């Protein structure tokens, strides 16, 4: 997935098993510090975006707004192609944007909602 992400095949918490979870490499270091202790994990779908350690410190993955903005720009050709009579734009640009939409939506939710909440809780931002 690249050097800035860590992929966990499974994370077991009590009776719950989370599978195929990814997070920023910088946040992964703090997950290791919390092993064997009571921690709180903050998830956005299958993305681990924050952790509160037993000492009360909260760390979160701070993402840039660039990715969601690019995602929005990719969605514009899809909307334009639906309004026009040309299907070539839909197939060439709009269709790939449609597959990116679920990822874009989670990214946007993380940047606009979760990051501000975790920051308000006194969380320490970590860049990926």
pLDDT tens readout for residues 19-44? 999 898 889 889 888 888 888 999 98
- Note whether 74 and 81 are within 8 A (CB): no
Cα separation values, 46 from 57, 87, 100, Å: 22, 34, 16
Angstrom CA distances, 22 to 7, 25, 34, 60, 74, stand at: 4, 9, 17, 13, 24
Query: How many other C-beta atoms lie within 10 A of the C-beta of residue 126?
Result: 19
pLDDT tens for each residue of 42-101: 998 888 999 999 999 999 988 777 666 666 666 666 666 666 655 554 555 555 555 655
> For residue 62, what are the β-bridge partners?
127
């Amino acid at each position: 997935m690249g050097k800035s992400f860590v992929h966990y095949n499974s994370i077991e918490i009590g009776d719950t098993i989370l599978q195929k979870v990814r997070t920023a490499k910088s946040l992964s270091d703090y997950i290791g510090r919390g092993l064997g202790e009571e921690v709180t994990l903050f998830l956005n779908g299958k993305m681990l975006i924050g952790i509160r350690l037993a000492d009360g410190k909260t760390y979160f993955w701070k993402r840039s707004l660039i990715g969601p903005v690019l995602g929005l720009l990719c969605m514009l050709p899809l909307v334009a192609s639906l309004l026009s009579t040309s299907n070539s734009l839909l197939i060439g640009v709009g269709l790939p944007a449609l597959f990116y939409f679920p990822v874009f939506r989670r990214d946007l939710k993380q940047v606009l909602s979760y990051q501000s909440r975790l920051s308000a809780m006194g969380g320490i931002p970590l860049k990926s």
